[in-house]
A and B are shown apart, each in its own frame.
Chain A
Amino acid sequence: MSTAIVAQHVRRITTAQRYPRAVVGSLGVLAVVLSFYSLSVGATDVSMHDVLNAVTGNTSDQAAQIVVDFQLPRVLLAWLVGTALAVSGGVMQGVIRNPLAAPDVVGVTKGAGFAGMLLLLAIPGVPVLAVVPAAFVGGLLAAGLVYLLAYRRGATPVRIALVGVAVSAAFEAGIRFLLVRNPLDVSAALIWLTGSLFGRSMSSVYEILPWVVVLVPLVLIWARKLDVLGLGDDLAAGLGEPVERTRRLLLLFAVALASSAVAVSGTIGFIGLIAPHMARRIFGGRHLASLPSAALFGVLLMLFADMIGRGLAPPLEIPAGLVTAVIGGPYFLYLLVKTGK
Chain B
Amino acid sequence: MRLQAQGVQLAYDQHVIARDLTLTIPDSKVSVLIGPNGSGKSTALRALARLLPPSKGSVILDGKSIHDTSTKEVARQLAILPQVLVTPESISVEDLVWFGRHPHRTSLKVPSPADKEAVEWAMTVTSTVELRHQHVDQLSGGQRQRVWIALCLAQGTDLILLDEPTTYLDVAYQLEVLDLLHQLNQEQGKTVAMVLHDFNMAAEYADHVFVMKSGTLVTEGSPEDVFTADIIRTVFGVESKVVPHPVSGKPMCIPLRAGLRTQTPTALANC
Residues of A that sit less than 8 Å from B by CB: 9-13, 17, 97, 221-222, 224-225, 227-228, 230-235, 237-242, 280, 284-286
Contact = CB atoms under 8 A, between A and B. Distances in A.
Interface of B: 46, 49-51, 70-76, 79-82, 84-86, 88-92, 95, 99-100, 102-103, 105, 107-108, 133-135, 138, 155
A284 B72 contact: no
B148 to A, nearest CB: 9
B138 A240 contact: no
Given A224-B107, A232-B82, A241 B46 contact: no
B85 A232 contact: yes
A231 B147 CA distance: 13
A-B CB proximity, top 10 nearest: A240-B75, A240-B103, A284-B90, A240-B72, A232-B86, A234-B82, A238-B80, A239-B102, A230-B88, A285-B88
Given A284-B91, A285-B91, A239 B138 contact: no
B135 A13 contact: yes
Contact of A234 (B73, B80, B133, B138): B80
Contacts of B92: 13, 17, 284
Contact of A231 (B49, B75, B99): B99
Contacts of A11: 134-135, 138
B102 A284 contact: no
A11 B100 CA distance: 24
A231 B87 CA distance: 7
Contacts of A242: 70-72
Contacts of A280: 89-90
A11 B92 CA distance: 10
B85 A235 contact: yes
A240 B135 contact: no
B116 to A, nearest CB: 16
A136 B88 CA distance: 30
Contact of B74 (A222, A228, A240, A284): A240
Contacts, number: 92
12 contacts: A9-B138, A97-B86, A221-B107, A222-B107, A225-B107, A228-B99, A232-B84, A238-B82, A239-B75, A239-B99, A284-B135, A285-B88
B90 A240 contact: no
Nearest to A232: B86
Contacts of B91: 284-286
Contacts of B49: 238
Given A13-B92, A238-B75, A284-B91, A221 B108 contact: yes
Nearest to B72: A240
B88 A235 contact: no
Contacts of A228: 99, 102
Nearest to A14: B90
Contact of B133 (A9, A13, A232, A285): A13
Contacts of B135: 11-13, 284
Contacts of A239: 75, 99-100, 102-103, 155
A326 B193 CA distance: 56
Contacts of B84: 232, 234
A233 B86 CA distance: 9
Given A228-B102, A241-B71, A285-B89, 8 more contacts: A13-B135, A231-B86, A237-B71, A239-B102, A239-B155, A240-B71, A240-B76, A240-B103
